[in-house]
Structure 1
Amino acid sequence: MNRRHFAAAAITLVCALTVLTAPAQAFAAPPPPSPTTTATTQKKSLEEVREEIDALYLKAGAATDAYNLADEQATKQSGELAELARAIVEGQAKIADLKNRAGAQAREQYRTGGLPPGAQLMLSDNPQMFMAGMNRVWQSQQAAKGVLGELTRAQADLETYTKDASANWKKLEANRVKQAKAKKKINAQIDAAKKLESQLEKKEQERLLELEQEAASKAQSAWLSSGALKEINRAASASGKKAVAFATQQIGKPYVWGAEGPGSYDCSGLTSQAWAAAGRPIPRTSQEQWRQLPHIAIQDMRPGDLIIYHSDASHVGMYIGDGAIVHAPRPGRDVTLAGAGSMQILGVVRPDR
């Protein structure tokens, strides 16, 4: 492939990188129930709806983490492909230059009858000219070897760059497929949850929110009653204070899956941006935060630490002290404060350990 064709191919590669992310059944009317039975049935029905909605948002949260991870990997691979494309173009230019130098040496030999000037001097009867000729022949041989050796290395590098670019392109496309599948799954779960809520009367929706808050309060009370907070009294680190300050400043901004601010966040988008603002970049997703960051015991927790929730590590909040967290809960909710024990705790990680 000549330089012009290769440059065109490389430009095409770089440009490609920028193109990137049942009907209801009728029943006979039952006998009128007593007021007590009506209230109990209604409460149970709403509780079931709440649990179903929660389950849908949990699944959406897990899919959001999968989307975010695929997005992070795709961004990384796009950057690597751009670097490889530049390296390929530079490699082609270097090879062309080396070929020109090798060609110049060959042309010089042709003009001198196949013998370089140094070799001609070696044939002289003059001892000084003979020695000078030997030196020039040696230098010419070393120069030729150097050009050929550098050309061989440049060609090998170029072949490696090309193979790496092909492998990274396949990975990029695979991650884009993962993103698309995760996005479809997220939207399906959120739409199903919204549909359930929309089928309720306004008073039922208000009661649904109360049930959600009651469930969180009950879980937090149980956590506090266990004595978990008694030993949690450590002060935040300097960077932890900065992370907490950033996160709490986002209170009131809406949850949007896949968002990293500044106007909206998902749960790990909030925590990753808070720690980035504190000068400590951390993984983008809650699952990667759980996998990569140092784990600490709950009793050793301090403000700024991240609490990972649910068995699949699909949610994360930042501990701010006094048994509370700041987090982005789910679609339809805003960044807010909540009890640290209001959800199922998987564990705690510390970004600045």
Structure 2
Amino acid sequence: MNRRHCAAAAITLVCALTVLTAPVEAFAAPSPPSPAASRHASDPKNPVGPGTGAKTKAKKQSKASEPKKSLEEVREEIEALYRKAGAATDAYNLAAEKAKKQSDEIVRLARAIVVGRAKITELKSQAGAQAREQYRSGGLPPGAQLMLSDDPQLFLDGVNRVREGQQAARGVLGELTRTQQNLETYSKDASTNWEKLEANRLKQAEAKKEIKEQIAAAKKLESRLEKEERARLLKLEQEAAYKMQTAWLSSGALKDINREASASGKKALAFATAQIGKPYVWGAEGPDSYDCSGLTSQAWAAAGRPIPRTSQEQWRLLPRIAIKDMRPGDLIIYHDDASHVGMYIGDGAIVHAPRPGRDVTLAGAGSMRILGVVRPDK
């Protein structure tokens, strides 16, 4: 790669940073229109043509003939939609986190390129000064000039200076070469990070679309319910959670769980419980709203222990422990895809940000399917 072009490309990068075909219907031979139909067809103020009323009626009958879903089926469908939205939220958050890291790295590389270009200018100036000095001395190397001198003392005094000058010249050329090589590396790294940044932005956009579609579908289902049905739906949600929690407790899961939180765990707990009542918003990490992993990651950051941003990364990277060994402050990961997380507070309960339309709240630790437990400060 031409070094000048490489460096120029990198600086340009820095500047860029700142800146079905419808089915054919078969009809029987038409019957003679009735007088009323004829009047409708000839009335310019009434565009309804013959047969339209029959089609509308058939459509209504078809819709009415569709089996109505039970409220429990609606609840399960809404829950599935919100879980899909939760998984997409994790994908969005992970892409956002990676994009931020790549953006920060590009900025770092850009600064290094600017420093490197300034250094090259300085080194070239030094090399030029040395070349001009050699020209003024007749183009002879300093050693040759000393050998031709009639003054022995001048020869002896100049030996060290010649040696120092030669070392300095080699040092300038060596540093110039290394700096130019570094610039090439910085430029390649910046280009690679730029491509990764754009790829993660696309992932963000795709995940954002998925989130909005799932939430919109869930809200549409809920909006079709009458006020009384929505109240019953909430009650069904609570009953389903209570049933799972009761089964979990009956299994003896809490039998040996009586440990106290660590010092940092207590700080994380204090932060998380102080957010109770704030709304769930996907992609949010405070201070006014949170998603599930936004709450847990910020709580542990407040405790001085930064952890991964998403529930899936928390499950993948943090130390795992057995349920029987968990203590307050530990994170419980839920569902097979690790798409939800809550913080254990003790006595079989968690604090978590449930889903869109709900607020940060307390819930039974076993009210959802547990995948496992991780400990940020192990």
Provide the TM-score with structure 2 as the length reference.
0.85
1:10 Cα deviation after fit: 5.4
Q: Give the corresponding residue for 1:12.
A: 15
1:189-243 deviations in whole A, cap 9, x for unaligned? Answer: 0000000000000000000000000000000000000000111100000000010
- Residues 24 and 313 (structure 1), Cα distance of their counterparts in 2 relative to 1, 3 Å cut: farther
Q: Distance in 2 between matches of 1:7 and 1:323?
A: 55
1:138 Cα deviation after fit: 2.0
1:286-340 deviations in whole A, cap 9, x for unaligned? Answer: 0000000000000001000000000000000000000000000000000000000
Q: Give the corresponding residue for 2:156.
A: 131
8 Å CA contact 1:6–1:89 kept in 2: the answer is no
Residue type of the alignment partner of 1:71: A
Q: Where in structure 2 are the equivalents of 1:72-111 lying within 5 Å?
A: 72-111=97-136
Counterpart of 1:258 in 2: which secondary structure? coil
Counterpart of 1:318 in 2: which secondary structure? strand
Tell me whether 1:45 sits opposite 2:80 in the alignment.
no
Q: Give the corresponding residue for 1:278.
A: 303
Counterpart of 2:280 in 1: which secondary structure? coil
Q: Distance in 2 between matches of 1:164 and 1:182?
A: 27
Q: Which has the larger radius of gyration?
A: 2
Tell me whether 1:26 sits opposite 2:70 in the alignment.
no
Is there any run of 5+ residues in structure 1 with no aligned partner, and where? 17-22, 31-40
Q: Distance in 2 between matches of 1:170 and 1:28?
A: 50
Q: Distance in 2 between matches of 1:161 and 1:199?
A: 57
1:28 Cα deviation after fit: 10
Counterpart of 2:209 in 1: which secondary structure? helix
Q: Distance in 2 between matches of 1:114 and 1:204?
A: 98
- Residues 24 and 327 (structure 1), Cα distance of their counterparts in 2 relative to 1, 3 Å cut: farther
Counterpart of 1:342 in 2: which secondary structure? coil
Counterpart of 2:150 in 1: which secondary structure? coil
Provide the TM-score with structure 1 as the length reference.
0.91
Q: Distance in 2 between matches of 1:28 and 1:310?
A: 35
1:25 Cα deviation after fit: 5.0
Q: Distance in 1 between matches of 2:192 and 2:10?
A: 20
Residue type of the alignment partner of 1:26: Q
Counterpart of 2:261 in 1: which secondary structure? coil
Q: Distance in 2 between matches of 1:160 and 1:4?
A: 10
Residue 93 (structure 2) aligned to one of 68, 75, 82: 68
Q: Distance in 2 between matches of 1:2 and 1:170?
A: 19
Tell me whether 1:226 sits opposite 2:229 in the alignment.
no
Q: Distance in 2 between matches of 1:279 and 1:25?
A: 61
Tell me whether 1:177 sits opposite 2:202 in the alignment.
yes
Q: Where in structure 2 are the equivalents of 1:246-285 lying within 5 Å?
A: 246-285=271-310
Residue type of the alignment partner of 1:129: L
| Identical-residue share of aligned pairs (%) | 76
Q: Distance in 2 between matches of 1:194 and 1:334?
A: 16
Residue 198 (structure 1) aligned to one of 197, 211, 223: 223
Counting matched residue pairs gives 336
